[in-house]
Structure 1
Amino acid sequence: MTMKAKKILFITQEMTPYVPDSELAAMGRELPQEIQEKGREIRTFMPKWGNINERRNQLHEVIRLSGMNLIIDDTDHPLIIKVASIQAARMQVYFIDNDDYFLKRLMALDENGNEYEDNSERAIFYARGVLETVKKLRWVPDVIHCQGWMSALVPLYVKTAYKEEPSFRDSKIVYSMSSEGLKQSMGTNFGNCITFRDVNASVLEDFSPEVTYDELNKLAINYSDGLTVPDTDKFQAFAEYAQSKQIPVLENVSAADADAFADFYDKVWSQGKSED
């Protein structure tokens, strides 16, 4: 009998109804519910983007989880955790918040349609904020499903800086690419910003000095156990890159393909494990 991944951690970039509808926001909303209805235990995280209406969506701070400072490039950034419920789905959503990175600021683009200069730092803060919060929850996911560029640094940190943490020691990681990406590079200071524990700029040595968006995705794939792509033709180069590293790829999938995702979680989870 196939071993099943029973606990799935969703680290998504977007989710309806909190932000405007998109391919990724639909997946962020629908897939966790579908997987939960299949009898799996889930936790779901997203950034507390500045365009989220806290009052209308009934977000409230979780004091016992907030209060930690994350140091990025020698600067302290307080971590604030909020939570809301989607009653119809019997699903809680945790939000990662910080005044510097999210307050009165939109998603990837500002009011004038320009990408924020510190998007790479925001992604670092989000990745580390989620992992620290899951540790505090004392929850041990079998599979971590990362969706979109905002989650792209989670695989790196799980497989390096957090590899000995009981919450993540045995976790497998699935990374989902999205049609919504970034045009700017990660910037010349990216190597300093990602530094944490045993992670430093050396993990970027195979990439260009400023690390392009495509290279960010390759970095995520390098530390993942599975890759999903919504359109094989559009993401063919990344699918082939993953396959060249013996990383399984689930192709041409959408939020509606919950059965395919569930089977893929089980496949990735079972890799390298003996069935006792």
Structure 2
Amino acid sequence: MQKLRILYVASEINPFLKTSYVADFVRQLPQAMQERGMEIRILVPRFGLINERKNRLHEVVRLSGINIAVGDEEKPLIIKVASIPNAKLQVYFIDNEDYFQRRSMFLDEQDKFYEDNDERAIFFCKGVMETVKKLGWAPDVIHCNDWITSLIPIYLKTTYQNDPIFKNTKSIFAIYNNYFQHQFNEDFIQKVKMADIDDKMLSPLKNANFESLIKIGIKYADTVIRAEEAYSDILSRLLEEHQVDNISAFPSNNGDFSEYYYQFYNELAGVA
């Protein structure tokens, strides 16, 4: 029987970068699933906070060189890779000079949200899909973590739905307590668009803000996870408004963390 293939996509992963709970979750769970016999890939942005020399990142030339469209512009995609110390796991990094080679993640020196964080998220999500295609590696499940990954489920259900690599892929959208107040520009929806996506499909994005990204992830993911036990009032209200059967509670670390997800992935992929 072929190993179940799980792709983890997130904003960060420990030990390369840690600013929130996301980094620890994406560090622990993939290793636990690999130890249970699953085949794992991990994709994150190569933010400028990551020291390439210290962490031994190197470019994967065969995966680099694709141009990713964001609105009317095309940006070159660079893929780098590094291994997690003391674990048999590789991490692939999505990189682009304009979007990711800054000495911070989402805020500038004045603690203001970067105006192009929408484009950075779009580039990252599209870059993930194209990188997986180039790898020729068909994931059974894509586990999307946090708002920066929220467009992957809609791309999976539309533009890439007939691609053999993603033919049987299911998606999970995990929601974290990483709220921001920024309002994106009015051309946000136009920049998100790809083939087979019309304005009606993108209606959850009409307000062009954090809540919009959470709504689009909830709408198109095959299942949604509350990745933390406590949320801000705004996020709590949003989750209550969109309460559907596919929203699951995150298991307490006091329980059997790996067993829960092992069963969860198998059921979602239809092999249990």
One fold, TM greater than 0.5? yes
**Structure 2 portions without partners, runs of 5+:** none
Q: Structure 1's 223 and 27: CA in aligned 2 closer, same or farther, altered over 3 A?
A: same
Q: Mark the CA change 1:38 to 1:199 in structure 2 (over 3 Å): closer, same or farther.
A: same
Aligned to 2:220: 223
1:47-66 alignment runs, 5 A limit: 47-66=45-64
Conserved? CA contact 1:229–1:250, under 8 Å: yes
Q: Does 1:247 align with 2:246?
A: yes
Q: Which residues of 2 match residues 1-276 of structure 1 at below 5 A?
A: 6-208=4-206, 210-232=207-229, 234=231, 236-240=236-240, 243-244=243-244, 246-253=245-252, 257-270=257-270
Structure 1 residue 114: Cα displacement: 1.2
Counterpart secondary structure, 1:267: helix
Q: Percent identity?
A: 39
1:39-91, CA deviations, whole angstroms, 9 ceiling, x for partnerless residues?
A: 10000000000111000000000011000111111101000000001131110
Distance 1:233 1:180, change over 3 A: closer
The CA distance in 2 between the partners of 1:4 and 1:218, in whole Å, is: 34
Q: Secondary structure at the match of 1:217?
A: helix
Measured in 2, the distance between the counterparts of 1:224 and 1:237 equals: 19
Q: Pick 1 or 2: higher relative contact order, CA cutoff 8 A, min separation 6.
A: 1
| Cα distance in structure 2, aligned partners of 1:263 and 1:111 | 44
Q: Distance in 2 between matches of 1:161 and 1:106?
A: 31
Contact 2:15–2:84 (Cα < 8 Å) also in 1: no
- TM-score, normalization by structure 2: 0.90
* C-alpha distance in structure 1 between counterparts of 2:105 and 2:142, whole Å: 22
1:269–1:5 Cα change, 3 Å: farther
With structure 1 as the length reference, what TM-score do the two structures score?
0.89
How big is the shift at 1:189? Answer: 1.2
| Structure 1: gaps spanning 5 or more residues | none
CA separation of 1:51 and 1:176: change in aligned 2, threshold 3 A: same
Report the CA distance between 1:200 and its aligned residue.
4.0
Provide runs of 4+ in structure 1 moved above 4 Å: 235-243, 252-256
Amino acid paired to 1:35: M
Q: Aligned pairs, how many?
A: 268
How far off its partner does 1:237 sit? 4.2
Letter in 2 for 1:199: I
